Structure 1
Amino acid sequence: MKAQLHKLPISSDASFLFKTLECDYFANPWHFHKEYELVLIDKSKGTRFIGDHVSHFTEGDLCLIGSNIPHLFRNNEEYYAKNSKLKARSVFIHFRKDFLGNHFFDTPEMKLANKFLENPSLAVDIRGKTKKYIINKLYAMNDEKPPQRLLSLLEILVRLSLSTELKPLLSPGFSANTSGDSDKINHVFQFIMRNYTEEIYVQEIASKLNMSVPSFSRYFKHHTRKTFSDYVTEIRIGHACRMLTEDNYSISEISFQSGFDNLSNFYRHFKKVVGVIPKEYKNRFLKPTT
């Protein structure tokens, strides 16, 4: 059971899709499409699964996902509550490499952009001045006529191809497995997101899928290139990082609410995943300088 192929509704009178989407929560399953996807999270928080990468997302996050790279954006559980008044909003562009013709990116002037787009493991988090530039472009595109939008997209791609402010999201050599449907792996992701703050037993999810533990472990690693345990740990650490930004909780509270059974275990895993201890993370990245 693999990622679903989505055929995107690009209009016959446009060469790419530009759209602002507002909804109660992001609802697409684990899926892929031939089009590249540039996506700005304008509103909402949650967890993003892109290839073998998993991390939390929040307002202002901007990333580019390459052609045929499977992905899923899932909002936090409070967005799915019956009486929730929360909203999710994104601004995105879907485009194919040939949106300007089959040979446009073969021209000498587009050599760097062509090399950038040809990367089979293309999935990057966009940061710094490049991020600010592209976000301003995306907002401006709302009011632009089609010819202006076309030029804006080209300017964005040129800026990306020259930027040093891109963080690769996929493991080196990642190869997408993109045939079949996604029901089973989506069920696994949903189970993790509902239960990661509690103790999770691999036997339970394997049983739900009518699989033995060894078979499930092989299946999960085949799709994510990580063990089930490591994957759940990364989700928990991502949740802890989000709680650290809110500045309302003690380290012990964060440890417990992120699903860790003791503080030393939390510190060990946090240092392994993030590279620093929680307090240092908070001081280094979240405290304003004076």
Structure 2
Amino acid sequence: MRAYLERLPHSSTASWTMLNRRLEEAIPFQWHHHPEFELTLTLNSEGQRFIGDHVGSYGHADLVLVGPNLPHTWASRRKIDAAEPHVALVLWFRKAWIEAMIAGSVELQPVKELIDRSLAGLAFSPETGRALTAEFQALFDRPPLQRLLGLFAILAHLAGDESARPLSRAVPRHIEGRSSRLDRVLTHLHRHYAEPTSMGELAEVAALSVSGLHRMFTRQTQASITEYVAGLRIGEACSRLSATTEPIGFIAEAVGYPSLANFNRQFKALRGMTPRAYRALFRKPV
């Protein structure tokens, strides 16, 4: 399942976008990406989050900053208080806008370092999420200028949070003048990751030698092509295991593993459990 490009609405009274998302039934698995940064605080909900090649559990007051074009989604398992909805308080802002706001302001350099680190996705501690819950909720009742000041107050707080940890291992780090080569390779991989990967074919896509392709890819994504493809395949397998009843053998072949034994080994190496155990996490008790 390739991530779809989400086009976010823009406000005539604000330079950035926000959403108070309240869902009675569940937070659905919707694998997507967009060019904006996304800061999401999730309340009254437990489940799994998928960010790049990261898959992990989340709970109440889960707070994550996602970089531009990094595929992501949340998928809930249950509400903590069954009488209340799942809540996601989401803030989006464009890279060019936040960089322009920061430029020339020494006071905002910690925020610049924060957004630079978030390209791989950053998860903050539940304590940080709980501490900022009132600030997030207050944003929705403020006029535009006060909202803007509130956004930067939240970002400044996060910039000082030493508990933040990166999530995805394989994230493009664009280098000026070279990103188009990498973009072509990534587009090809996302379209054909379930098929056998030919290094020669990828080198032609990038207009590089095979050795040049390896150097560029590893330098800009911090992963080898083999590792990146495995992340895509296992990420797709996770989405199918959590959302469908398809047989595990069928899923293995669909994501590019004709050998079920090899699929099981790769899955356990990346997720720390077997596909069967992972699927059991999403089964509702009878």
- TM bin, normalised by shorter chain, reads 0.5 to 0.7
Question: 2:227 matched to which residue of 1?
Answer: 230
Which ranges in structure 1 are unaligned for 5 or more consecutive residues? Answer: 1-10, 29-35, 77-89, 107-113
Pairwise mapping of residues 22-171 of structure 1 onto structure 2 (< 5 A)?
28=35, 37-40=37-40, 54-55=53-54, 63-64=64-65, 71-73=68-70, 91-94=91-94, 95-96=98-99, 102=105, 104=107, 114=110, 118=113, 122-123=117-118, 124-126=122-124, 128=126, 141=139, 144-157=142-155, 160=158, 166-169=164-167
Partners of 1:202 and 1:142 lie apart in 2 by 50
Cα distance between partner residues in 1 of 2:194 and 2:41: 24
Alpha-carbon offset, residue 146 of structure 1: 2.4
Separation in 1 of the partners of 2:212 and 2:275?
A: 35
Structure number with higher relative contact order (C-alpha < 8 Å, ≥ 6 residues apart): 1
C-alpha separation between the residues in 2 aligned to 1:96 and 1:258? 38
Who is 2:191 aligned against? 194
Q: Structure 2: which 5+ runs fail to align?
A: 1-10, 20-31, 43-49, 57-61, 74-89
Distance 2:34 2:37 in 1: 16
Is 1:205 matched with 2:202? yes
Q: Percent identity?
A: 24
1:231 aligned partner, one-letter code: Y
In structure 1, the residue matched to 2:265 is 268
* Paired AA for residue 266 in structure 2: H
DSSP-derived class of the 1:180 partner: coil
Q: Is the 8 A contact 1:121 1:175 kept in 2?
A: no
Structure 2 counterpart of 1:208, which letter? V
Q: 1:145 corresponds to which letter in structure 2?
A: P
Residue correspondences, number: 230
Over 3 Å counting, the alpha-carbon distance change for 1:126 and 1:259 in structure 2 is: farther
Residues 218-272 of structure 1 show CA distances to partners (whole Å, capped at 9, x for unaligned) of 2222221221111101110011111111142221122111111210110111111
Q: What whole-Å deviation, never above 9, does each CA across 1:165-194 have from its counterpart, x for those lacking one? A: 7441266xx995532252211111111111
Secondary structure of the 2:215 match is helix
Specify the SS of the correspondent of 1:64. Answer: strand
What is the RMSD of the two structures over their aligned residues, measured on CA atoms? Answer: 4.6
In structure 2, the residue matched to 1:33 is: none
Q: For residue 164 of structure 1, report the CA deviation from its aligned partner.
A: 8.1
Classify the secondary structure of the residue corresponding to 2:142.
coil
